[in-house]
């Protein structure tokens, strides 16, 4: 049976990969650094997250055990460059407490995918995108991470009805039509982020866009304003 969506998704992936090259996600060493980075990068550019990670490393607190024993205000001070630092310090503390309660990170990362996802979502401050980032990049599970870039790009390409499509619907677009390959999903998501910040911005930079041939509204022709009927 012909799967047009699959063909379009694979074509998009190949185009992005050819244009930008492998993105090398997730940067950093070890699953705990991925977990921490996933929280720190919430609504925050990675550049700012990096300094926070440097601070945590320098303080020797980039392990669940060390972080669990860190006073909240000290943790907040270390992650200050990542923004939302009081809130994120609380979120990291909650997350680390859950990890320690659950027998440590390696035990946690061995939980079945559905169970791990549910447990992560039950931690205050962990939403679907953060949970899925951890599932994919720290635990190596074939889940597709959906963010604002993903929604915007797919909507403009006509693969989604509108930018506010529910999270599970967007995830399914990928998992229903592509093989469950964590390597593919990880690279694909990273490429969408790259394309979203470099080209397919709110105000898109269409001239010279590598995806123009696959896009219904290339160049300032029309439709730079999304109609977006809720």
Partner DNA sequence: GTCCGGTCCA
Partner DNA sequence: TGGACTGGAC
Q: Note whether 40 and 53 are within 8 A (CB).
A: yes
Which residue in the set 45, 102, 107, 224 belongs to the binding site for DNA (CB under 7 A)?
45
Least distance in angstroms from the C-beta of 180 to DNA: 20
Instruction: Name the percent of the chain in helix, strand, coil, to the closest 5.
Output: 60, 0, 40
Q: Note whether 145 and 117 are within 8 A (CB).
A: no
Whose tokens are 């219904």? That residue is 216
Which residue in the set 17, 27, 77, 218 belongs to the binding site for DNA (CB under 7 A)?
27
Kindly state the helix (H) or strand (E) to which residue 129 belongs, with its residue range.
Answer: helix 128-133
Query: x/- binding map, residues 144-163, to DNA, per CB under 7 A?
Result: ---xxx--------------
Query: x/- binding map, residues 211-230, to DNA, per CB under 7 A?
Result: -------------------x
Kindly state the helix (H) or strand (E) to which residue 72 belongs, with its residue range.
Answer: helix 72-78
Kindly state whether residue 185 participates in binding DNA, applying the rule CB under 7 A: no
Instruction: Tell me the site size for DNA, rule CB under 7 A.
Output: 40
Of residues 117 through 136, those in contact with DNA by CB under 7 A are 124-131, 133
Taking only Cα atoms into account, the Rg of the chain, rounded to an integer number of angstroms, comes to 19
Binding site for DNA (CB under 7 A): 25-27, 37-38, 41-48, 51, 80-81, 83-87, 124-131, 133, 137, 147-149, 193, 196-197, 201-202, 230
């Amino acid at each position: 049976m012909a799967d047009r969506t699959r063909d379009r998704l694979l074509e998009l992936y190949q185009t992005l990969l050819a244009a930008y090259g492998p993105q090398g996600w997730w940067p950093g060493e070890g699953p705990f650094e991925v977990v921490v980075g996933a929280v720190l990068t919430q609504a925050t550019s990675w550049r700012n997250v990096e300094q926070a990670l440097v601070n945590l490393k320098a303080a020797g607190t980039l392990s669940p055990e060390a972080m669990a024993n860190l006073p909240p205000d000290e943790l907040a001070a270390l992650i200050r460059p990542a923004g939302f630092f009081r809130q994120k310090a609380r979120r990291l503390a909650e997350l680390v407490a859950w990890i320690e309660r659950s027998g440590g990170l390696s035990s946690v990362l061995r939980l079945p995918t559905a169970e791990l996802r549910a447990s992560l979502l039950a931690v205050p401050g962990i939403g679907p995108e953060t949970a899925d980032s951890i599932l994919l990049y720290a635990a190596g599970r074939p889940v597709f991470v959906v963010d604002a870039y993903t929604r915007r790009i797919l909507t403009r390409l006509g693969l989604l009805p509108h930018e506010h499509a529910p999270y599970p619907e967007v995830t399914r677009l990928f998992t229903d039509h592509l093989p469950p390959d964590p390597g593919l999903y990880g690279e694909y998501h990273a490429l969408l982020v790259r394309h979203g910040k470099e080209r397919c911005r709110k105000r898109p930079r269409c001239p010279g866009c590598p995806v123009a041939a696959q896009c219904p509204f290339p160049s300032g022709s029309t439709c730079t304003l999304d109609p977006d009927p809720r």
